[in-house]
């Protein structure tokens, strides 16, 4: 006799991994949800409730524009967005677990840069994250921007008045502003 196994709608449309979700909910910790698009990065602190997940705080890379940073979906932007969310939270005693959804956990990715920025603000993240400091500051971007292809590749930065070759100095300035808050 053949048994029919119903595949849940959110899994079928590649939105939810139910095994990971149940495991994270059993932990009882709040989740740091990191999502990225082609243009921005968003982070949310989510707490489970029976009536549905409740968002306690959120941050987007677009908020960094007010601090003088030109937001794109890159490693330095992700790190600064994580720091921004970490500074928004007043409760430093809670422990959080990283929720990357259906993204692949690749070492040195944008998602882990955001988590590193969040944990560097003094927040307790259950995951341990190691990262190259030069990549966090954008040294790889500045090196590429100084090359031949940099003029065309970073034309959107130039239109916005942001010098991609000086991204490390700008990163340090914005980070100082965030730490000072």
Contacts of 82 (CB under 8 A, 6+ apart): 43, 59, 113, 114, 115, 116, 117, 118, 119, 120, 121
Tokens of 81: 């967005």
pLDDT confidence band for 61 (50 / 70 / 90): very high
Cβ neighbours around 116 below 10 Å, total: 21
| Percent of the chain with pLDDT strictly greater than 70 | 93
Taking alpha carbons only, the member of 28, 22, 32 closest to residue 96 is 32
Among 15-24, 96-105, 151-160, 165-174, top mean pLDDT goes to 165-174
pLDDT of residue 181: 65
pLDDT of residue 161: 86
pLDDT of residue 12: 64
pLDDT of residue 164: 87
Name all domains of the chain by residue range, CATH numbers in brackets.
Answer: 16-180 (3.30.420.100)
Cα distances from 57 to residues 46, 82, 107, in angstroms, run 8, 12, 26
pLDDT of residue 11: 65
Helical residues (DSSP H) of the chain, grouped into ranges: 9-12, 18-27, 75-88, 110-119, 133-137, 139-146, 150-153, 155-159, 167-180
Report pLDDT digits (tens) over 67-124: 999 888 999 999 999 999 999 998 888 899 998 888 888 889 999 999 999 999 989 9
Q: State phi, psi for 111 to the nearest 5 degrees.
A: -65, -45
Question: What's the chain's average pLDDT?
Answer: 88
pLDDT of residue 10: 66
The answer to whether 78 and 117 have CB atoms below 8 angstroms apart is yes
The answer to whether 94 and 30 have CB atoms below 8 angstroms apart is yes
Report pLDDT digits (tens) over 123-146: 999 878 888 999 999 999 999 988
């Amino acid at each position: 006799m053949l048994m029919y196994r119903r595949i849940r709608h959110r899994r079928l449309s590649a939105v939810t991994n139910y095994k990971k979700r149940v495991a994270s909910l059993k932990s009882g910790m709040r989740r740091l949800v990191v999502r990225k698009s082609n243009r921005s990065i968003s982070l949310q602190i989510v707490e489970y409730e029976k009536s549905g997940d409740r968002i306690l705080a959120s941050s987007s890379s677009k908020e960094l524009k007010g601090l003088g940073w030109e937001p794109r979906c890159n490693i330095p932007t992700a790190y600064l967005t994580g720091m921004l969310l970490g500074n928004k939270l007043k409760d430093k005693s809670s422990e959080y677990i990283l929720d990357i959804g259906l993204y692949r956990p690749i070492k040195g990715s944008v998602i882990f840069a955001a988590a590193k920025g969040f944990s560097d603000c003094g927040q307790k993240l259950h995951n341990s994250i190691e990262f190259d400091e030069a990549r966090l500051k954008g040294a790889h971007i500045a090196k590429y921007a100084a090359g031949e292809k940099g003029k065309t590749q970073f034309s959107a930065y130039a239109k916005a008045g942001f010098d991609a070759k000086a991204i490390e100095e700008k990163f340090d300035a914005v980070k100082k502003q965030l730490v000072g808050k």
